[in-house]
Each structure stands twice: as structure tokens, then as C-alpha cells.
Amino acid sequence: MYSCSDLKKGLKMMIDGDPHVIVQYDFTKPGKGQALYKCKLRNMISGSLFDRTYRSGESFEPAHLEEREMQYLYQDDNGYVFMDKKSFEQITLSEETLADDKYFLVDNMDVEILMHGDHGIGISLPNFVNLRVIQADPWVKGDTAAGNNKPATVETGYTLAVPSFVEEGTLIQIDTRTGEYSTRVKE
């Protein structure tokens, strides 16, 4: 079982028999009052969003979902298409279902599809993915301070802060749990 201190964005738990994922999380503690754990949850089957506030001492049943390893193929008008490499069966997940995970999909990448019966209701990404920078300001010569950053956009359209020495065309590693830059990748 999870306790309140396990609650965070991305955590999956069962509520009223359905798997839910926390899409937004906030911890508040007004003055000397009790801690409140405010969650925006998405029902992973129906897609409906709602807010719920929890208090210390409550516990939650983890959502154990069946996972199926599949390969990401491409994006089309209906969403993102994945294929089972053994049976060649294909599954399409909508943009809403993937939410921010869509930014971390690379063609031909293996991912775990979270299943509810025959339906894919989400994916489980590897902790790190490599993506190529397609837009970034050039490196100002002489800027060697390690902490200086600038925005960069990667091939999936995702924008993040990167060190000043990262240039267009650079392959970088991103931590999918935080969405943050990790390091450049040697090619």
C-alpha cells in the first residue's frame, strides 16, 4: 500500500476499482494546520479528470497493471501507434492518454504498454531517453560557466533548459521522470 508520502505526479493507484494516475500534485499545510495532499487524478480507463484531497494517515492501493512490451512505430491522425514485435499486433494510444509521455517517444523504441484487458491505457517509459536538439541558440564563445543555461527544443517538440554548450544537432539524454536534461550523448 502507498501512504501519503508516496503521492507524486505519475503515481498510479486504484480508486473505486479503476486505475488512476496523478497528473498534478500539490502539498499544502496552512499555518499550523494539518497537511493536505491535493491531487488531480485521471481515470486511466475513462480519461475523466477530477480533484481529490487526501490527509495524512490515508493509504492507497497501488495499480498493478499488466504490461506488454511493444515497439513505438509512428504517429498518425488517431494517435501514436505501437506494435507487438512477436504477434505484429498494433495498438494506437491517443495524445490525451500519453500526455507528456508523448515527448519522450523515439521511433522504434521499446516501451511497456500498460494494459486494461485488450486496451492500452498508458505507457511505462525507460528512465532515460536520447533525443536530438533541433533548435537552440548558438554557443556564445567564451561562455564557459557550467551553470549558464538556455532553452532548447528536441525532435519531439519538447522544450527544456540545457547547458550553454549544447548546440543544434547535439544528441542529449533526458530523464523522463523529471523531464530534465541529463547529459550529452557520445555518438
Partner 1 sequence: MIVEPNWQLARKRKTIEQRARILHKIRAFFTEQGFFEVETPARIPVNAPELHIDAIASGNWSLQTSPELCMKRLLAAGYDNIFQICHCWRAEEQGPRHLPEYTMLEWYRRDCDYQQLMHDCEKLINNLVGRKSLTWQGQEVDITMPWPRLTVKQAFSQHSSTSLSQITDEKKFSELMSNEIEPFLPRNKPLFLTDYPTLQGSLAQQKADDADCVERVELYIAGLELANGFTELTDAAEQRRRFEKEEKQRQAAGKASCPLPEKYLDELETLPNAAGIALGVDRLIMLLCDQPTIDEVVCFTPEQL
Range 7-46, binding partner 1 (CB under 8 A): 25-36
Among 138, 142, 146, 169, binds partner 1 (CB under 8 A): 146
Phi, psi of 15 (to 5 degrees): -130, 125
Are 162 and 181 in contact, with CB atoms under 8 Å apart? yes
Are 22 and 9 in contact, with CB atoms under 8 Å apart? yes
Put the strands of the sheet holding 110-116 in their side by side order: 90-93, 79-83, 66-76, 110-116, 119-124
Asked if 147 interacts with partner 1 (CB under 8 A), we say yes
Asked if 145 interacts with partner 1 (CB under 8 A), we say yes
Phi, psi of 179 (to 5 degrees): 75, 15
Residues contacting partner 1: total by CB under 8 A? 32
Asked if 138 interacts with partner 1 (CB under 8 A), we say no
Are 171 and 130 in contact, with CB atoms under 8 Å apart? yes
Q: Select the span of 104-112, 116-124, 151-159, 174-182 touching partner 1 (CB under 8 A).
A: 174-182
Distance CA 172, CA 150 (A): 14
Q: Write each residue from 50 to 89 as x if it is in contact with partner 1 (CB under 8 A), else as -, in one continuous string.
A: ---x-xx---------------------------------
Asked if 173 interacts with partner 1 (CB under 8 A), we say yes
Among 19, 120, 122, 163, binds partner 1 (CB under 8 A): 163
